[in-house]
Amino acid sequence: MTDKSVSEIVARCEALYEDLNFTAAREWKEAEPGRKVIGYMPIYVPRELIHAAGMLPLGIMGGGDNLEVIHGDAYYQSYICRIPRSTIELGVSGRLDFVDGMLFPSICDVIRNLSGMWKMLFPEVYAKYFDVPQTYQDEVGGVFYTNEMREFLHDLEGIAGHKITDDDIRASIEVYNENRRAIGDLYALRAAQPWNAPASEAYLVIRAGLVLPVEEHTQLVRDYIAAASAEERPLKDNSRVILTGMFCEQPPLNLIKSLEMSGCYIVDDDFVLISRWLLGDVPTEGDPVHNLSQAFLHRSMSTAAKYEPDQAEKGQFLVRAVQKAGAEGVIFASTSFCDPALLDRPILQNVLKQAGIPYIAFKYAENSGQMQPIREQAGTFVDSIKLWSAA
C-alpha cells in the first residue's frame, strides 16, 4: 500500500510532463559531481547501457503543446511532422544545455536528418544516430545490432571516463526488467478496470519515466497502481478501444482526455513505446549485450517504426492485442505526415477488417488545439460499436 493518493501522484507526474526545462533531470545531475545525462528521441534505445554507465537516460519527446516554435521552423520544411522542429526549439532555446549526449534511434528519414542537424548546431555535444537491423537473422541483423551496441558502449566509456563491465549491464537489465514488469501491471489494471486507471492518468505516470531515474519511476508506478486499485470510481457505459499510431510524436494530453470524454475506455496503446518495447524480461545470464540484441530481434513490440519481413504480422500483433485487452475497436491516431504510420495503416486496417474488428482513423499534431472534431468522430465511433454490438 501507499500513503499517496491518486491525485497527488498524478499532479506530480503532470508537473514533470509540463516542465520543458527538465528540472528533475537537472537536479539529478547537479546532485553529485561528474554525473552525465544522455538524451534520446523516441522510440527505442537500449537505456540499460546508459544506466550501466552511471548516467541518466532522458527521454525527449518533442516540445508538446506548451512550446511555441519560433526558431525550429527555420530549420525544417512545413510538410513534415512537428517533433523535429519542436526538438530543435528545445535545443536552441537552451532547455537542453545540460545534456551530455543525444541519441537519435532509427525511426524515419526525419529523425535521421535531425541527428545531422543536431551535430551541426551543437558540435561539442555527443550525438549518435542509433541504427537498428533491417534483417532479423541472428547471424546478420543480430551481429550488426550487437556491434552497434558495443560501439555505443565504447562511446559511453569515453564520456564517463571509466570501464563499463558486463556485471554493470546485467544489473541495469534487471532494474529495467522490474520497470517493465511494473508498467505491464499498470496496463493489466487498465485493461481490467479502465474506469479506475484512465489512460490520461496512466499516460502521465509512464511519461514520468522519461525524466526520472528508473528505480524511482518503478516505485512511482507501483504507488499509482496501489492508489488506483484502492479507489472506487463510477463505471461508465464506455466502449473499450485500442489507440495506435502514437509511437513517436506523442499526443497532447487533451487529445487523450477528449477521447475519454467521447465515451472511450482506452485499454491499450503505443504511448511512450520505449517503456514497453521489449516483451518480457531480458535474461541476465551470459553475454548481456547479446541478450539485449536477441530481445530486440525476437521479443519486441510490432510497430510501424520497426521493419518486419512479414508485414501482415503487424496486423496479427494488433489483433492479438485487441483480444488480450478485450477491446471492441481500434482507433488509428497518427501524427500528420508520419510516413511509417501512414504507410502501414492500410495493411493493419485490412487485417482488422478480415478479423471483423471495427476501426476509425484520424491525424493529429503534438500541438493540436481543436479537439472537438476528434471528440465528435470518436463519439460517433463509440455509438456505432454500441449499436452494432446490440444488434
For the chain, the average pLDDT equals: 92
Q: Is the pLDDT of residue 391 over 60?
A: no
Q: Does some domain include residue 221?
A: no
CATH value at residue 138: 3.40.50.11890
Percent of the chain with pLDDT over 70: 98
289 lies in a domain?
no
Question: What's the pLDDT at 390?
Answer: 57
Length of the chain: 391
Is 43 domain-assigned?
A: yes
State the Cα–Cα distance between residues 118 and 122, nearest whole angstrom. 6
Q: Which residues contact 123 (CB under 8 A, 6 or more apart)?
A: none
State the distance between the two ends of the chain, measured CA to CA, in whole angstroms. 44
| Structure confidence at residue 1 as a pLDDT band (50, 70, 90) | low
What pLDDT is stored for residue 327 in this prediction? 96
When mean pLDDT is compared across 120-124, 259-263, 303-307, the lowest value belongs to 303-307
Mean pLDDT, rounded, for 362-388: 83
> Does 73 map to a domain?
yes
When pLDDT is averaged across residues 106-114 and rounded to a whole number, the result is 86
Residue 315 forms part of a structural domain? no
Confidence of residue 281 (pLDDT cuts 50, 70, 90): very high
In this predicted structure, what is the pLDDT of residue 2? 66
Q: Is residue 299 in some structural domain?
A: no
Residue 149 lies in a domain: yes
Q: Which residue has the cell 471492441?
A: 328
Let me know if residue 141 belongs to a domain: yes
The total number of structural domains that make up the chain = 1
Instruction: Give SS3 for 32.
Output: coil
Tell me if the bond preceding 43 is cis, omega within 30° of 0. Answer: yes
Question: Tens of pLDDT along 185-235?
Answer: 999 999 999 999 999 999 999 999 999 999 999 999 999 999 999 998 999
Whole-number Cα distances in Å, 244 to 178, 234, 266, 338, 371? 25, 26, 10, 13, 18
The residue range of the domain holding 67 is 22-167
